[in-house]
Structures are given as structure tokens and as C-alpha cells.
Copies of this chain bind each other. A is one copy, B any other.
Amino acid sequence: MTVTTTEHRVTTELSGRPLAAEIRRRTGERAAVLGAAGARPRLVVVTATDDGSTLWYVRSIAKAAAAVGIACDIADLGPEASRTRVRDRLRALNQDPGVHGIILQTPLPDGMSPAELAVEIDPAKDVDGANPASLGRCAAGLPGFAPATAEAVVRLLDHHGVDLAGRDITMVGRSVVVGTPVALLLLERHATVTVCHSRTADLAGHTRAADIVIVAAGVPRLVGADHVGAGAVVIDVGTNATDDGLVGDVDAGAVDGVAGALTPVPGGVGPVTTALLLAHTVQAADRAAG
């Protein structure tokens, strides 16, 4: 399907599910080959929290991994874990040849900086691109794992045939896990990229002027009809738990009929992100198997 950004009346849904299924299928095929050769890919998710929704999310990764033939361990260090304990576990996992992918799950205990600890993750096993070195490699065009969510945004745009080169793209959000790496990946793809955030003076002006708007602000329904140019492609990375259930950073009802295309929440970027974590783990296992 090709998405155009000309005048329109219907907003196309940019589902992530078919792409996620395709990535999982290929990942499963490769995992089976590695498994048959006695090198079953293994992912370890390190947690240090008792936050229920986080632990639910981590278990969903483990289930998705199992479904494609990847072993997945949850290394639960508990909400009282010290910085040293987290660091030592990451170092041990780096050294373990049976472990191919490492995810350091946020949130971490108060006062612990994810980036400061993620520098410990071996870039070869850093399947969620959390080590700042992975981000730098990404910016420098060197091989390395991008944060899965950021890569999912680009893959989803490609899957739906949205051209990027020379297009004006506004990224709402500047986090080190989404907004910043998405901007870096899009620059590499020759887009003109504007990064907005909570201190931006005229957010609606910047988003309205864009061919493509990507929102990762963590603010439920931040982007409404006034923020979107007619026919623009809108990617909603937000997943906010509210009294109305899970809602995105985009007010889907408001932009319906204005945007040319919009990702659903859930079912848009999320499933692609999870599938890419698994794909990265198999790639890491493949490289380790040499």
C-alpha cells in the first residue's frame, strides 16, 4: 500500500501487526536454524522494579520470544537492587557466551540513571540500543542496534510505502530512547527533521507544517486536529494508561479525516517494537555464531 499526502477525506490506518508478524516469522525461521545447530538464541531482561505494568510487559516479551524459539530469562533483581548489583549483573551477562541479547528494563530504582548503567551493556548484545555508544554508532552510520522503538517507527513508515527522502518530518519528543534516535535515523534517510518538545514555543505550527508527524511525548491526546496538516502521515508512539484504557499521544478521533494516515494505539508501533527486539536478538546470536 502506498500512502500519499494529497487532499483526502479518509484517514488510513497504519497497522503494525502485519509487519510485526512478518518480522516474527523470519526471526523464528532463523532462530530454528540456530537452535538446530545447538546455538539457541537467548535474551535476558534485567528488571529492578515491582511496577505491575512493567512486569506485565516484560512477561509479554518473554512469551513472544518463546513463540519464535528464543529463550528468554527475566533476571529480576527487585526494587531494592543497588547500582552495583545491576552493574555486576550486566557485566556477568556480557561475559556469558550463552546470552546473546540484554535488555535493561526501565524504570530502575530511584536515582539510578538508565543511560549511566546502559554504558555497561556490550554493544554486540545491546538489542534495545540502550548504550549511548549504540546511539552514537547509529548517528555515525556504523553498524549497531538502534533503540527498537525508534527503528520500529522507520520500519513502519517503510512498510506502508511512505517516502522519507526530502520530506519535512516533525518529531515531538526528544527522549534518548525514542525522539532523539528517531531523528538520527530519519536524517540518515535524507528527511528534513524538526525536533519539538515541552519547551517548544509553537508546537502546532511545527507539526502542521510537516508531511509526517511522529509523536513520542508521553502526554495523552497531546496532538489534535489543530496540530495536523491535511493529509499528513501521523505516527503515534504514545501508550498511556488512562481511565479510558490505553490511549496514544494523538487524539485519534480529532485527527480522523484530517490526517492522511495514522497508526492505531494499540496495534501500531508497539507490536513492531517487540518483534524487533526478538529480531535483534537473533541477529546478535547469528553474529556470535560467526
Contact = CB atoms under 8 A, between A and B. Distances in A.
Interface of A: 115-116, 119, 131-137, 139-142, 165-168, 174, 176, 180, 183-184, 187, 190, 192-197, 199-202, 206
A176 to B, nearest CB: 5
The A interface is mostly helix, strand or loop, or mixed, namely mixed
Given A190-B199, A194-B192, A176 B132 contact: no
A180 B187 contact: yes
User: Which of A116, A139, A206: most chain B Cβ within 10 A?
Assistant: A139
A11 B189 CA distance: 36
The 3 A-B pairs with the shortest beta carbon distances in the complex, nearest first, are: A136-B136, A132-B136, A133-B133
Contact of A192 (B141, B176, B180, B201): B201
A7 B193 CA distance: 28
Contacts of A184: 180
Given A133-B132, A136-B137, A195 B196 contact: no
Contacts of A137: 119, 132-133, 136
Contacts of A142: 115-116, 119, 132
A140 B206 contact: no
Nearest to A119: B142
Contact of A197 (B140, B167, B190, B199): B190
Contacts of A190: 197, 199
Contact of A200 (B116, B166, B196, B200): B166
A136 B168 CA distance: 24
A202 B132 CA distance: 32
A10 to B, nearest CB: 26
